[in-house]
Amino acid sequence: MPNGKFSAASSCLRRFLALSKAFLISALLLSGCVSSRGDLLSQVSDRGANSTSVASFMGIAILTTASVIPGELPFDEVADEVDNCRLNETSIEIYSPHPVDGSSLLCEQLLSAVTWVRQLAGATGRTGRFRVTLVPAGRSFVTSRSSISIGGSMDVSFAFPWSSEDSRASTANVISKMAHETVHVAAGVLGKPAALQRDEVLAYELGACAQLKFLGVLQERDLPRGSLPSFQNLPKEAIASSRHGLDAASAVRKYMVDGQVSKKSANGINLISACEEKARSAFSSPGL
Ligand SMILES: [Zn+2]
């Protein structure tokens, strides 16, 4: 291709990427996975918020992910890779400014959760690279990243708050959110219908089921809170997303006894099977 044309195309693509990042950050509050109010950071709960967007441009799929974590102080340390793990074409990389106790177990749990969702979605056989940044709890961080997806490949980055004092709750949150976002990523890169790409109830339910399946127990306190202090003056999409989180929590709560359900109980087995059936059925719709 002549240089002039290439430059024009690549400058156009760069502009598109910049616009898509700006759009995604500003649209995080509208697109789901967000549950509070105020300005950008104060609208996000202390569990953080993540968002995924897939757009096709001149035959190329652009995959953009964003993460927003609120905190008292900005997170400005360098996060180095502290662990990585891989199964066939799926890989996880964990980044943190400090060593993370149990990082290899966390990596394997995330790999299992992401692989499970990718299998349910029919995305096995496509490259999946997932970069995970663990931000010390109490630090604020806003980030986004775009990548090009070819033939359903996934190259994404997400950030999550991490508390070494409460690694149990942090682990539950990271696994739930990774499974949730993988539903959106898979639906987007596989070219599934827009309704499935935006299916917040399915994403929240798979997030809850991933905790149950890969941590062995799902506790009520780790379900989506949907804790909007008020539904006043909020975009209708944010209200809908919060309600979808509550809908998913209420569907899952029916399987719990005394605020929890274990993987080996009859209820646990039934809940995982309900999640898997629902996901397979949703992803059986035509895509790419
Ligand atoms: Zn979502």
| Mean pLDDT (whole number) for 169-178 | 97
Which residues make up the environment of ion ligand 1, defined by Cβ < 5 Å?
Answer: 32-33, 200, 203
**Does residue 30 have a pLDDT over 50?**
no
Q: How confident is the model at residue 42 (pLDDT cuts 50, 70, 90)?
A: low
pTM of the predicted model as reported, rounded to 2 decimal places: 0.85
| CA-CA-CA-CA torsion sign (256, 121, 214, 238) | negative
What is the Cα gyration radius of the chain?
18
How many angstroms does the Cα of residue 244 sit away from the middle of ligand 1?
9
How many angstroms does the Cα of residue 260 sit away from the middle of ligand 1?
23
How many angstroms does the Cα of residue 42 sit away from the middle of ligand 1?
19
| Mean pLDDT (whole number) for 225-243 | 58
How many angstroms does the Cα of residue 27 sit away from the middle of ligand 1?
12
CB 226 within 8 A of CB 246: yes
How many angstroms does the Cα of residue 203 sit away from the middle of ligand 1?
6
- Strand pairing of 60-69 and 139-149? antiparallel
Strand residue runs (E) in the chain: 49-57, 60-69, 73-74, 80-87, 90-96, 128-136, 139-149, 154-162, 217-219, 260-262
pLDDT of 124-137, one tens digit each? Answer: 999 999 999 999 99
**Does residue 71 have a pLDDT over 70?**
yes
What percent of the chain lies above the pLDDT cut of 70?
77
Q: Which helix (H) or strand (E) holds 230?
A: none
* Cβ count near 190 (within 10 Å): 25
Q: Residue 61: name the closest of 23, 20, 90, 25 by CA.
A: 20
**Does residue 181 have a pLDDT over 90?**
yes
Q: How confident is the model at residue 32 (pLDDT cuts 50, 70, 90)?
A: very low
How many angstroms does the Cα of residue 207 sit away from the middle of ligand 1?
10
Q: What is the pLDDT of residue 231?
A: 47
